[in-house]
């Protein structure tokens, strides 16, 4: 396949399997991929041989939204794994996949592949954290104990915010204790509308409903969304509007910034890798992730 100007062909070396990859009826990993640039089109030749992480949203770089800096809302955006491309699972079989060089960020030499697969998630974490004014010492509740919820809670706790995490998987509370983060089962918490900020990382309509019952009047709800919208979120909107709650969402963040900051931030991602395998183990690992038997899985391709 001949590459167009600005395109690169990436050979995957390590792929992360996260719960959003199995959220629907079809299990298909789309992001959390680390690979090596094998070939490059005109203008991107300098990337050949570099180890990179690819973004969860692939923008064209040329439309009016991209030119305005709204690359995650590109008019021609592609979402690997959900746009018919097969995502990184397809790339494992085919040997490589083609993306715009602008959708890649180089991984520094001292960052192992198993850490680099978290760059996409951490990019969204940084975008969420930038919306929270920790200097005002807000009471913050994070909903969801998947990778995103655990990372958000870590990041805000390091910034001295008063943070608690609500989840449904008791086996993950040990991670919160390791990081000194307050945690409770979401089914046991009081719904008193007394939280300054609620960050919904569940990816489900029920998460926004719960957020509407936790956030104080004129508080703020931040929803981590998928590039591909799913579910009906109308149920909670009446409560949020009546209480004059500020509602924001984050789809994706800058992989370049996240790749540069992941190590220096000292967020602890290694204990979240609870399952490992090779290409032949993909179906088994995806099934385990879907059953919530672990936080995330890693597939080594080479």
DSSP structural state of residue 4? P
Alpha helices for the chain (secondary structure H) = 64-67, 87-94, 113-116, 119-129, 147-158, 173-179, 205-214, 237-242, 255-265, 282-290
CATH number for the domain formed by residue range(s) 124-250: 3.40.50.720
| pLDDT given for residue 92 in this prediction | 60
pLDDT of 230 reads: 52
SS3 281: helix
Q: Does the domain made of 7-118+269-300 have the CATH classification 3.30.70.920?
A: no
Question: Which tokens in the block code for residue 243?
Answer: 């209480």
Residue 9 · residue 37 · CB < 8 Å: yes
Angle at 194 between CA 191 and CA 198, to 5 degrees: 85
Q: List, in order, residues 6 or more apart from 60 with CB less than 8 Å away.
A: 66, 74, 75, 76, 77, 100
pLDDT at residue number 215: 96
Residues pairing with 78 in the sheet: 58
Per-residue pLDDT at 219: 95
pLDDT at residue 214, rounded to an integer: 96
Q: Where in the chain is the domain with CATH 3.90.180.10?
A: 7-118+269-300
Is residue 159 within 8 A of residue 129, CB to CB? The reply is yes
pLDDT at 93: 54
In the chain, CATH 3.40.50.720 sits at: 124-250
Q: Say what the pTM is.
A: 0.87
pLDDT of residue 116: 92
Q: Mean pLDDT of successive 10-residue segments in the chain (302 residues)?
A: 85 84 54 87 94 81 82 78 56 71 87 90 92 88 94 90 91 91 93 95 89 95 76 68 83 85 85 89 84 86 76
pLDDT of 110: 86
Closest CA to 147 of 165, 185, 112, 121: 121
Eight-class DSSP state of 176: H
C-alpha Rg value of the chain to the nearest Å:
19
């Amino acid at each position: 396949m001949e590459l167009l100007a600005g395109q690169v062909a990436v050979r995957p070396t390590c792929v992360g399997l996260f719960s959003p990859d199995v959220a629907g009826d079809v299990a298909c990993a789309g992001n959390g991929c680390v690979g090596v640039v094998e070939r490059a089109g005109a203008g991107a030749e300098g990337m050949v041989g570099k180890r990179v992480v690819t973004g969860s949203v692939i923008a064209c770089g040329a439309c009016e939204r991209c030119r305005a800096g709204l690359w995650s809302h590109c008019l021609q955006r592609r979402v690997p794994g959900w746009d018919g491309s097969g995502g990184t699972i397809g790339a494992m079989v085919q040997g490589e996949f083609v993306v715009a060089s602008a959708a890649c960020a180089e991984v520094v030499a001292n960052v192992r592949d198993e850490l680099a697969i978290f760059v996409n998630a951490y990019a969204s974490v940084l975008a969420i954290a930038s919306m929270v004014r920790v200097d005002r010492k807000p009471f913050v509740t994070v909903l969801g104990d998947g990778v995103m919820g655990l990372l958000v809670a870590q990041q805000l706790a390091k910034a001295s915010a008063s943070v608690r995490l609500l989840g449904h998987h008791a086996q993950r509370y040990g991670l919160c204790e390791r990081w000194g983060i307050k945690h409770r089962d979401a089914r046991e918490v009081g719904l008193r509308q007394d939280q300054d900020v609620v960050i919904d990382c569940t990816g489900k309509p029920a998460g926004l409903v719960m957020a509407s019952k936790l956030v104080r009047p004129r508080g703020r709800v931040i929803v981590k969304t998928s590039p591909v919208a799913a579910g009906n979120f109308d149920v909670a909107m009446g409560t949020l509007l009546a209480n004059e709650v500020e509602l924001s969402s984050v789809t994706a963040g800058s992989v370049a910034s996240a790749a540069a900051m992941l190590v220096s931030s000292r967020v602890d991602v290694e204990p979240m890798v609870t399952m490992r395998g090779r290409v032949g183990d993909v179906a088994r690992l995806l099934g385990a992730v879907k059953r919530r038997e672990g936080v995330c899985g890693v597939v080594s391709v080479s």
